[in-house]
Amino acid sequence: MTSKAGWEQIGDAGAWKNTTVGVGSKGRLFTVESSGKLYATSGRTGGWDEVGSGYNTQHLAIDGDHLYAIEADGTLYRVEPETGAWSQLGKKGDWKGTTAAVAIDGYLYTVSDNTLYETDLSDGSWEVLGEEGDEEDGWNTRFLFADNDTLYSLESDGSLYEIDGDDGSWTQIGNEGDWKGTRTLATLGGQLYSVEESGVLYKTDLSTGQWEEYGSADDFGATQLLFGTGKAVYSIEENGNLYKLDL
């Protein structure tokens, strides 16, 4: 094995085969399957519990003690991670067309129609953050993510930005296009872990944009989703296997 990260399979083989979206927090993974079921998985053992059903979730975020789900119809829900109980926030369909989402410190940040939005998670009220955009002069975001309460964007051209959550202003990190072809990503402890279409795993220092190859395509070529929580990064593979990467 050529990876710098040691890894081990946890849980039952193939148990996460139908996972569509997920998020990690406090040593657990929360995932939604194509069946509409919501699961909580222990990051230590891989043991899982079904905590809800009936979901058609496009984006899943977590902040504090709650999950937040944007459904296919664009409606936002607050979800209790222990029971799966949910309550609607804001107006039905207000988040239709969302392409990326992440929650930080009581707010949900989303991109749709090349515009960045901030939603107050206490009541579902939202506002444009910065200026409304278009295809030529706006957000073309593939991933929104957070680390240490800081907001980041990875754009479709492969460029990485740190975003000011107060006004939507941004600062480029690293070189333009360095993360082109990223398939999935996760953050942990100030580091960005990303798998490219080639299957290679990279680690990036978010304070500088400096990156290094961290795992080979032989080990990560089948990775579909990455999650960071606790002291590890987790990979769900095409065959539904779950791996823990001890960093």
The tokens describing 161, both together, are 């930005």
Condensed to tens digits (0 to 9), the pLDDT of residues 214-236 reads 999 999 999 999 999 999 999 99
Place 2 in a pLDDT band, splitting at 50, 70 and 90: very low
- Checking if the pLDDT of 1 tops 50, the result is no
| Cα dihedral 223, 55, 79, 42 sign | negative
What digits encode the pLDDT tens for the residues 116-174? 999 999 999 999 999 998 877 899 999 999 999 999 999 999 999 999 999 999 999 99
State the pLDDT at residue 137.
84
Task: Kindly report the length of the chain.
Answer: 247
Sign of CA dihedral 145, 192, 239, 155: positive
Average pLDDT over the chain, rounded to an integer: 96
Percent of the chain with pLDDT over 90: 94
Q: Are 10 and 45 in contact (CB under 8 A)?
A: yes
Question: Residue 5 has what pLDDT?
Answer: 60
Q: Residue 236's pLDDT is what?
A: 98
Structure tokens at 46: 């891989």
∠ CA 98-149-58, nearest 5°, is: 20
Residues 6 or more apart from 36 whose CB is under 8 A from it?
53, 54, 55, 56
Identify the bridge partners of residue 211 per DSSP, sorted by sequence position.
204
Q: What is the pLDDT of residue 136?
A: 79
Residue 37, token pair as written in the block: 């079921």
Q: What would the pLDDT profile of 4-42 be if each residue is shown by its tens digit?
A: 467 899 999 999 999 999 999 999 999 999 999 999 999
What are the distances in angstroms from CA 97 to CA 10, 110, 151, 161?
35, 10, 20, 22
The whole-number average pLDDT for the span 38-48 is 98
Q: What would the mean pLDDT of 186-203 be, rounded to a whole number?
A: 97
Closest Cα partner for 124 from 150, 88, 168?
88
**Which domains occur in the chain, in start order?**
6-246 (2.120.10.80)
Q: Is the pLDDT of residue 86 over 80?
A: yes
